[in-house]
């Protein structure tokens, strides 16, 4: 089991590092301008000049994939940060103190999770309008309940342990106990939850862009590129393969990390 866990962690870490390295490189340099069109290079197959070929406007697919992956990465990080920070605050207060606040906040989280999260995100973005900020806000709010539930259950479990009771007897305050003693013990669970949340955020952003209410043209987005490539599956299959492969690799790396972290607990 240990060997299998190490394989998951090593493979996931390697894939994730490569993808993150390419994304960071794309923030400073890409072979071509992701939005630059070249009618003469329309539908050029993969070559040394264009590693993943070009699309129907002659734009370099590799440059657009790198730029789109960077956008998805930043959005996913912001979404997970909102969900994690708010979830930790809500879950820790509910799990440690319990009572009426716990009941109210738990019911609010239940109400949010009672509806399909992606459908709610579509409604929010449709009302607020497409755009990076609205996508981050909509998905971030919808990710809060999942983090809050996990943190709440861990805090409710830990508050009854002997070392917490000893800290109370020694006069430690509630916030010191929560964030100095209990929170560090929830980090292994939180880390695997963060990796799962990252994958869900990438998929959600790509799905929204695929449907046309995410990142808007001419800016690159993996979801919108995958949607555009459907019309050229036979004439230019490299368009879909390059875009879809980037999504798969980005998610695969963090999925393997999550699996390894869960087995290591």
For the whole model, what pTM was predicted? 0.88
pLDDT of residue 54: 92
Q: Which residues are 60's β-sheet partners?
A: 54
22: tokens are: 């390419």
User: What's the CA angle centered on 159, arms 158 and 165, to 5 degrees?
Assistant: 115
Contact 187, 235 (CB under 8 A): no
Which portions of the chain are predicted below pLDDT 50? Answer: none
pLDDT of residue 2: 63
The conformation of residue 177, written as its DSSP 8-state character, comes to I
pLDDT of residue 163: 76
pLDDT of residue 169: 77
pLDDT of residue 258: 80
Please tell me the total number of residues recorded for the chain in this structure.
Answer: 265
pLDDT of residue 64: 93
Helix/strand/coil for 116: coil
Provide the total of helices (H) and of strands (E) in the chain, helices listed first. 10, 0
What's 192-257 look like in SS3?
HHHHHHHHHHHHHHHHHHHCCCCCCCCCCCHHHHHHHHHHHCCCCHHHHHHHHHHHHHHHHHHHHH
- Tell me the angle at which helices 237-264 and 61-97 cross, rounded to the nearest 10 degrees: 30
Q: Return d(Cα 233, Cα 240) in angstroms, integer.
A: 7
pLDDT of residue 18: 92
pLDDT of residue 212: 81
């Amino acid at each position: 089991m240990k060997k299998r866990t190490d394989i998951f962690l090593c493979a996931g870490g390697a894939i994730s590092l490569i993808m993150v390295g390419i994304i960071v490189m794309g923030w400073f340099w890409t072979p071509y301008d992701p939005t630059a069109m070249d009618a003469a290079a329309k539908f050029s197959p993969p070559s040394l000049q264009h590693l993943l070929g070009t699309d129907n406007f002659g734009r370099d697919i590799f440059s657009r994939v790198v730029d789109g992956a960077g956008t998805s990465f930043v959005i996913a990080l912001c979404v997970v940060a909102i969900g994690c920070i708010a979830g930790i605050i809500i879950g820790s207060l509910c799990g440690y103190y319990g009572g009426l606040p716990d009941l109210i906040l738990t019911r609010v989280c239940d109400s949010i999770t009672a509806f399909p999260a992606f459908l709610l995100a579509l409604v929010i973005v449709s009302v607020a309008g497409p755009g990076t900020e609205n996508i981050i806000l909509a998905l971030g709010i919808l990710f809060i309940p999942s983090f809050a539930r996990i943190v709440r259950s861990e805090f409710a479990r830990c508050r009854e342990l002997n070392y917490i009771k000893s800290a109370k007897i020694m006069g430690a305050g509630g916030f010191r106990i929560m964030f100095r003693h209990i929170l560090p013990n929830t980090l292994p669970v939180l880390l695997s939850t963060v990796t799962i949340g990252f994958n869900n955020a990438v998929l959600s952003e790509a799905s929204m862009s695929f449907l046309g209410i995410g990142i808007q043209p001419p800016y690159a987005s993996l979801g919108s590129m995958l949607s555009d490539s459907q019309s050229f599956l036979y004439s230019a299959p490299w368009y879909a393969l390059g875009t879809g492969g980037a999504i798969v690799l980005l998610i695969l790396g963090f999925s393997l990390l999550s699996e390894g972290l869960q087995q290591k607990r």
